[in-house]
Amino acid sequence: MAASPVRVRALRISVTLLAGAAGGSLASYAGLPAGTLSGSLLAVAIVSLAGFPTEVPNWLRLPVYLFLGIYAGTGVGPETIVQMRTWPVSFAVVLATLVVVVAMSYRWLNRWCGWDPISALLAAMPGSLAMVMATAESVNADLRKIAVTQTVRLLILIEIIPLLALLTGVGTGAPDAPVHETATADLHQVAMVFALGAVGGILLMRARLPGGLMLGGLIATAVLYLTSAVDGQLPPGLVAPATVVLGAVAGSRFRPGDWQLLPRLGGPAIVAFAIGMGISLAAATLVTVTLGVGFIQAFMAFAPGAIEALIIVAFALDVDPAYVAAHHVVRFFAISLTTPLIAKWVSKRPGPRG
């Protein structure tokens, strides 16, 4: 007797979360900064590529985004206000970096790998996957090339930042959440944080911002802390399970059939990522030297994509998540405003098909 669809789906979800929990626990036990996130992502990606259809349902994913955004907001402090004077210059560097990353990655994929112009352009975009995929469908681009390239970029990015932090000694004392000496907030304050965080998250989600639930929760919580309406820390016990779910969401972007595509698409995707990574590292170094922003913080703000995961990595490494989030939002708006127009122009150009 065949299993019911409900039981099959329950099995998929259970295996996905168990794989994420196992991977996150191992990485955290090994002392890797943000280990629950990177370990969960890697474990679920392996399970997906091995042929199991992983899944994290919306009813679990959306509350986790909001929850993690609220917790990330507690990492915003008075130093954020002081540092905001450097943000306009830093935003300008982000936009200039975006142009160079897209141009160089596009050239690699189109000229050297033989990808058609529109697929090369959209695969070169650092982040904003929903917008990129929607544009790809409207101009008949190769959706599998774009999805695999973007997913490979996300996987490598989230795995490499904790390793880079480990090598530089950032966040090694707090693998899953920053440790503060502040007392725990009382029940009234906790209720206020979650209530206003939910309002902010829902508003930004309806505004269709990337990671709107997480960003709204972060902003609302940050305002409460910056105005001293709340002065205690939220209970930390649920952060690790929530980051396991976030890693599982990212890892489940791989599908079983992607294994056959990786030998053909993996090489171009990895080199395109390396191009973007090198340019982003150079820009982060420039901002660190000229504006005095911490290198890991600057790099996470300039890293090519993955806004939700990078906000949580910033929180886990005890660097300013507001700085990271603001730069990714600026880049998102730039990509959203220009991608459809550039894509339509590029789609009319002759070029190799592959």
Q: Which residue has the higher pLDDT, 275 or 235?
A: 275
- Out of 173-182, 185-194, 258-267, pick the least confident: 173-182
The SS3 assignment for 184 reads strand
Contacts of 217 by beta carbon, 8 Å cutoff, 6+ apart: 65, 66, 67, 68, 69, 70, 72, 73, 197, 198, 200, 201
114: left (phi over 0), alpha (psi -120 to 50) or beta: left
Task: Name the β-bridge partners of 184.
Answer: 233
Q: DSSP class of residue 233? A: B
The three-point CA angle 138-141-147 to 5° equals 105
Residue with tokens 């959706």: 143
| H-run or E-run covering 172 | none
What is the H or E stretch that residue 69 is in?
Answer: helix 58-73
11 Rama class: left (phi>0) / alpha (psi -120 to 50) / beta: alpha
User: Which pLDDT does position 174 carry in this prediction?
Assistant: 44
Q: Residue 280 corresponds to which tokens in the numbers above?
A: 């982003």
Convert the pLDDT of each residue in 263-291 to its tens digit.
888 899 999 999 999 999 999 999 999 99
pLDDT at 216: 92
Q: Would the pTM count as exceeding 0.95?
A: no
H or E element that contains 7: helix 5-29
Mean pLDDT of 314-319: 84
